[in-house]
Amino acid sequence: MKRQCIKVPFAVLVASLAACATPQKDIPGLSSGIDAANAGHYRQAIMHEEAAEKKLAEANKALAQWKNDHYWNINDQQKAKDAAQAAAEHRLASEKEMCQWLTQVHSQNHVQDGPLSAQHTAVFFADGSATPYKSEEHEIAILGSYLRANPDATVDVTASTDTVGSTTSNQSLSDRRASFVRNMLIKHGASAGQLNVKAVGEAAGPANTRNQNHRVVTMVTVHPAYADCPELK
């Protein structure tokens, strides 16, 4: 009986052997994927919580053994205390990460309460007067009450005059306007530390020109950046 030889083309044989070869490991690609999965405050909060639970289990196990008078040595005691400390540290880190995540989620939708959030408010004065029009003292009262309710907020108070009169007298007039508004804000609840007051004297413009828009005290509220759990350090 004659043997039959099957001839396989060399290119086909090479391709077949290549198909059976071990595929190349994409370690950087996999590492990047894992890093991406672990990124972000939320995931970090979970990881710290998992670590806290693991360390807490070690500490609780040691405590149970001690209570049952199981054998222990000084090294075991230190390990148990270290585990309890590590659990507390991971728990705190988890809470901090979670608060940062909440801040990211909430901050855009968490405009400070009230209609005066980052608002420009102005009160106007008559020629030579350091008392605003009566109808506009109400604006000062609203802002003073707002600052009392939001002690972290501050306000920039800037007083000016038009260019009628001497520069010296107008500087004095802007000082008196700034002082009036400052005192009214404090009267209605603001604290002195919340007020950044500046009297600039004459506003820029042609000399000896009446301009109602320059006989003004502007008030701009300033708020700290929003953060969840601000007391958590």
Q: Is the pLDDT of residue 7 over 80?
A: no
Identify the pLDDT of residue 150.
Answer: 81
What does the DSSP 8-state code read for residue 210?
-
Buried b (16+ CB within 10 A) or exposed e, 199-221: bbbbbeeeeeeebeebbbbbbbb
Identify the pLDDT of residue 116.
Answer: 45
> Hey, how many other C-beta atoms are within 10 angstroms of the C-beta on 100?
19
Q: In which residue are the tokens 């008559």 written?
A: 126
Question: What integer is the mean pLDDT of 28-50?
Answer: 79
Residue 222 DSSP SS3: strand
Q: Which residue has the higher pLDDT, 220 or 232?
A: 220
Question: What integer is the mean pLDDT of 5-21?
Answer: 55
Q: Is the pLDDT of residue 23 over 50?
A: yes
What pTM does this model have? 0.50
Distance CA 51, CA 41 (A): 15
pLDDT tens per residue across span 92-145: 888 888 887 777 676 555 554 444 445 667 888 988 999 888 667 778 888 898
pLDDT tens per residue across span 45-83: 888 999 999 999 999 988 888 888 877 677 888 888 999
